Structure formats: C-alpha cells, structure tokens
C-alpha cells in the first residue's frame, strides 16, 4: 500500500467539508494575464454543483428513457423537445433524480461535427475513444462469462461523445476526494450506462492555481444537458436533467434550464474538415526557454546521480505560448488532430467562461469495466520515418537502447506494483513492444487486473495518478522537484481526463494537449522523462517533436480548404 500513500498528495483520501462554490454561465472569459479572484464565483443559473449534495442519500431515481429511432438530427431534436414537455406535464414523483431522454438516429454522424455546429456560449465537452484494433483485450481475458455478456451492450460501440450545457457539475478548489467520487457516483447507475460525468483533474491539485486554470478548479466534471453520441453505424441525441430539492435546484428548475438549452441546439450539422486552420503565428515563446531548460535538465541529472537520492526519474514539462492573427477554433483544431489520431484519445473540456482544454493523447490511465481494470505503460520516444526500412531501424534502436529501456521499465514496474495493491491478479502483456503513432513511436506494454470490489474505483485513481510517465519516481520526490524547477502551472496537463459511468469508467492521461483562449492564442504543453543518460539537447528536440501535431497546422500558410456536406 506504499504507492497509495505516495499518491495521497495528488488525491485527497480523507473526508472533507466542501466549500460552497458554483460557476456562472455568464462569467466573462479571463485573459491569461488578467486578474482573477479565486473566491469570486456566482451561482450558476443553469445547473447545480453535485459536490454540495448529501452523497449518503440516494437519488429518488436514475433512469433512461429511449424514444423510437429517427432518421436525422432535426427529427431527434424535435422529438426531445416534445419529450421534455411531456416530462413537465407528468413529472416523476421524486425530490431528487436524474433522467436521460435519448433518441437513436439511423445514421452515423460525427459527434465533433455536431459540437462544432453548436453555440459557443455553453460549456462544452468532447471525448473520443482511441482505436485498440490489433491489441489484445486483457479485460476480456480476466472477466467472467457473465461480465463478458454484460460488456456486449450498445455502449461498447460508442465512438465519441459531445456535450453542451450541464445537467449537474462537480467542482471544487480542494483535491478530488473519496467524498467527491461518491457525490458523482450518486448520479450514476449500471442501469443507465450512458449517464456519465465527463471531466478531468489537475496534475497537482495542491499546487497554486494560475489565472488561466481558475475556472477548472482542482477538478471539474459535468453530466451534459444535451449530448450527441456517435456509434459505429448510428448516432444518438440525448437530453439529461438532474435535480435535488435539498440543493434548491428543483425538477422545475432543471426542466426550464434544459428547455432553454434545447431551443439553442442546432440541427444543421455539416462535415467540416480543414487542411489548415487558416491562422498565422505572430509569436511563439517557450517556458522555460531553451537557455533555462538545459540547466534544469542538468540539475535533475545531478540529483538522480546522487547516492543519497532515491530519485530515478523526473518528467520536466514545457509550455509554448502561441499567439495568432485570428482566433483558433478549438473544435476545428481538435477535428484536425482527430484526422491523424485514430490511435489516440481526443478530448475537449471547457467549463463556463473558461478556455478550452483540448488534447490528442495516446496514453490510457485506466479503463474499468465492472471489476476489470486495465492500464498501460508508455514511455521513451522516437520519431517516425518516411521509409519503412528507416522506420524499422529507428524501432530497433528504441528497443535496444539501455537509456530508453530504463525509462520504460521504471514506468511499467511502478504501474504493476500499484495495480497489485488494489487487484487480486495482474497480467502484463506484452512485456515490451513498440507502439507506432502518426508522428512518433514509443515503448509500450499493457497491464490488467481484477478489483477486489467495485467500490475500489477511487483507489484506482489514487494508485495510478500520477504515473512515472508524467511525473517521475518516486512520485513525491519527483513532484517536489517539478514544483521547484517548473515556473508555470501545469493545470490539467498530464492529469486524468475522461469519464465516470455506472458500469464503466475510462481515463486518459492529459498529455499532447493545449489550452485555447479567444483573443489569446494557445498554450501547448509537452514533457520529457529525465533519467540517467538523458541529454538536454535530445530532450529539447523531443519536446518540439511532441508538439508538432499542434504546431504544423498553425505554422503553415494561412490557407484553408474546407468541405461542407450538410447532414439531413
């Protein structure tokens, strides 16, 4: 259980009293360099903070109502508006609850296309699963026959989810605690698997929150008011409302807020793909600068070499501020990343009045399906090559490099140890291989185990975050060195990003990510693992390689090729 103890500084394991914090949907976006008061949060007129409820008291109902299948988003929107009106005339007889109304659509429509068509005034979220084709499903091997039968539900074909508005949100300035997890679980049920809370947590919730990350708090999760689900071969439009009289947010409040949002939903969805974002870069600055980064790496290496130090690895990050001539559309940027990121998760998280945190991360933190949980080790980086022969040569070099094997082994064995602390059985398969992405390749291994209890889900987060791949080892020593060396706030970069669900939860690691703000460009984040044998020049070049998927589209000529195809 030592690993759980080390991680306790990243997640609060003790009961805490929540500060009363809400978010206003009318809060003005804060410039990265502006002033912001932590305590200045007005009540949200369109939702409630579920963290303020009594997690010990079950909701009166958690249910999903499915309408008949329609042929288009327009028909689905009209059907949902009608269903919400019917719910208002025949309300459920409960003082608290959550109801999801969903309409299947008989065609596959991109969730990101739907999201791009919606008004930007609402909080937004997007989560797209990566493709795991070609990799063994270790959860399938560990699960019982009954669990495997339950895994074959329609949500297994879910490709991506886009949401606007907030039926209920969960946010606090204190570290995510077991009580917060129970508050979220209160609104979920295995019988309604698509009612999910999407969001993320800070890399270091105990660190000082900088201006640009203020609206996110230490963590932020939301069950969307209106949600678009993209499945393999079909789609679904859903509306969710949640209420709790004890929080002064009644069913009537929830229905009125949902009706207001539904009236603003656009059913005119177009397939929009851009070869370029059509922006020009005015300036790009790194924090730290190259001159400051080299000494930081050397300092870390000196500490690692000291016999008195237990530090074997530390991950040092950089943020790159890019200012452009026109605003970057975060959803269009994410769509562009998605076009080359089939082997990665794509996400967008944007609380009310906040910048958009977007990412194209290849790394899974964990996936839980009932009692099964899987994670993975991903470390060491090399570029891809234009020719197959050269690419294989780089792969062989990666597989045989002692320095990269050390970096990777530290990550894999630490995750194995952490899973052993919460699981009865842990499987590692393969021990080491190369995972190839569009621009880079990494050393890779999958790990899976079987939880002793389903209630141990919070312990998965407490055990696995942060992994040595984004922090270092030992975690606490690495965290302290990061706090000393890095002069910027990582925010949710390298933190858990994903969703909690009734029977399934999945989190990616928020790397290969950027924070996008209107009028202020973007902050692009990347990090590299420093171990014995690391070279400052090589590490700096690796940072450039990792952010290239973001910068290639905004450093090209400001020309745009756009294809618009209306979806009826």
Q: Looking at 227, 363, 457, 504, which residue is catalytic?
A: 363
The tokens of 290 are what? Answer: 């190259």
Distances (CA, A) of 257 to 25, 34, 66, 166, 467: 12, 31, 21, 9, 40
Dihedral (C-alpha) 305, 205, 412, 373: value to the nearest 10 degrees? 170
- DSSP secondary-structure letter at 16? -
> Dihedrals φ, ψ of 371, to 5°?
-95, -10
The CA-based diameter of the chain, rounded to the nearest angstrom, is 72
User: Do 60 and 96 form a contact (C-beta atoms < 8 A)?
Assistant: yes
Rounded Cα–Cα distance for residues 522 and 153 (Å): 39
> Dihedrals φ, ψ of 500, to 5°?
-105, 135
> Dihedrals φ, ψ of 537, to 5°?
-65, -45
- Catalytic: 363? yes
The tokens of 322 are what? Answer: 């890019």
Rounded Cα–Cα distance for residues 1 and 320 (Å): 38
Q: Looking at 52, 212, 227, 313, which residue is catalytic?
A: 313
DSSP 227-244: EEEEESS-EEEEEEEEEE
Number of separate helices (H) and strands (E) present in the chain: 14, 25
Distances (CA, A) of 123 to 36, 127, 220, 223, 519: 19, 14, 11, 11, 18
Distances (CA, A) of 428 to 32, 375, 454, 457, 464: 43, 10, 21, 20, 15
- Catalytic: 313? yes
Dihedral sign, CA of 222, 224, 227, 233? positive
Beta-carbon contacts of residue 558 (< 8 Å; ≥ 6 apart): 276, 278, 279, 280, 325
Characterize 332-370 residue by residue with b for buried, 16 or more Cβ atoms within 10 angstroms of its Cβ, and e for exposed.
bbbbbbbeebebbbbbbbbbbbbbbbbbbbbbbbbbbbb
> Dihedrals φ, ψ of 415, to 5°?
-65, -40
Cis peptide before 474 (omega within 30 of 0): yes
- 527, 486, 476, 467: which is closest to 310 by C-alpha? 476
Count CA atoms closer than 13 A to 217's CA, side-chain side. 27
Dihedral sign, CA of 240, 246, 249, 251? positive
- 518, 520, 537: which is closest to 528 by C-alpha? 537
Active site positions, annotated: 313, 363
């Amino acid at each position: 259980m030592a690993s759980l103890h080390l991680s306790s500084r990243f997640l609060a394991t003790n009961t805490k009293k929540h500060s009363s914090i809400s978010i206003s949907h009318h809060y003005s976006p804060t410039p990265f360099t502006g002033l912001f008061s932590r305590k200045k949060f007005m009540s949200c007129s369109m939702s409630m903070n579920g963290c303020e409820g009594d997690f010990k008291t079950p909701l009166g109902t958690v249910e999903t109502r499915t309408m008949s299948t329609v042929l288009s988003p327009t028909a689905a929107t009209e059907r949902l508006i009608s269903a919400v009106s019917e719910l208002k005339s025949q309300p459920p007889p409960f003082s608290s609850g959550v109801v999801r109304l969903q309409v299947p659509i008989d065609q596959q429509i991109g969730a990101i296309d739907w999201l791009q068509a919606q008004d930007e005034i609402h909080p937004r979220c997007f989560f797209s699963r990566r493709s795991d084709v070609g990799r063994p499903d270790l959860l399938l091997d560990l699960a019982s026959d009954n669990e495997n039968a339950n895994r074959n539900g329609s949500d297994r074909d879910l490709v991506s989810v886009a949401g606007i508005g907030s039926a209920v949100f969960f946010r606090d300035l204190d570290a995510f605690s077991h009580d917060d997890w129970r508050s979220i679980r209160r609104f979920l049920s295995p019988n309604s698997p698509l009612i999910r809370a999407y969001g993320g947590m800070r890399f270091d919730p105990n660190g000082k929150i900088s201006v640009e990350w203020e609206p996110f708090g230490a963590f932020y999760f939301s069950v969307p008011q209106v949600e678009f689900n993209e499945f393999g071969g079909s789609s679904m439009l859903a509306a969710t409302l949640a209420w709790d009289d004890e929080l002064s947010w009644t069913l009537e409040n929830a229905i009125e807020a949902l009706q207001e949002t539904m009236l603003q939903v656009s059913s005119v969805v177009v397939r929009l793909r851009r070869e370029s974002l059509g922006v020009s870069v005015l300036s790009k600055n790194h924090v730290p600068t190259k001159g400051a980064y080299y000494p930081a790496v050397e300092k870390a290496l000196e500490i690692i070499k000291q016999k008195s130090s237990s530090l074997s690895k530390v991950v040092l990050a950089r943020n790159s501020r890019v200012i452009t001539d026109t605003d970057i559309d975060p959803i269009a940027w994410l769509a562009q990343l998605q076009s080359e990121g089939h082997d990665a998760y794509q996400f967008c998280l944007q609380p009310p009045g906040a910048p958009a945190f977007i990412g194209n991360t290849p790394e899974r933190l964990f996936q839980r399906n009932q009692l099964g949980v899987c994670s993975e080790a991903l470390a060491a980086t090399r570029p891809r090559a234009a020719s197959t022969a050269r690419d294989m040569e780089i792969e062989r070099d990666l597989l045989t490099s002692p320095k990269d094997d050390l970096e990777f082994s530290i990550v894999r064995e630490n995750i194995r140890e952490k899973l052993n602390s919460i699981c009865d059985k842990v499987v590692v398969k393969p021990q080491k291989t190369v995972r190839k992405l569009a621009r880079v390749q990494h050393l890779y291994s999958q790990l899976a185990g079987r939880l002793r209890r389903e209630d141990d889900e919070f312990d998965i987060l407490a055990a696995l975050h942060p992994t040595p791949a984004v922090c270092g080892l030992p975690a606490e020593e690495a965290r302290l060195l990061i706090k000393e060396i890095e002069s910027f706030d990582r925010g949710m970069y390298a933190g858990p990003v994903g969703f909690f669900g009734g029977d399934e939860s999945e989190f990616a690691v928020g790397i290969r990510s950027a924070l996008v703000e209107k009028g202020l460009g973007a902050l692009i984040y990347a990090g590299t693992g420093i171990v014995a044998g690391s070279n400052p020049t090589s590490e700096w070049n690796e940072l450039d390689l990792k952010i290239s998927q973001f910068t290639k589209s905004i450093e090209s000529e400001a020309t745009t090729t756009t294809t618009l195809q209306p979806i009826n």
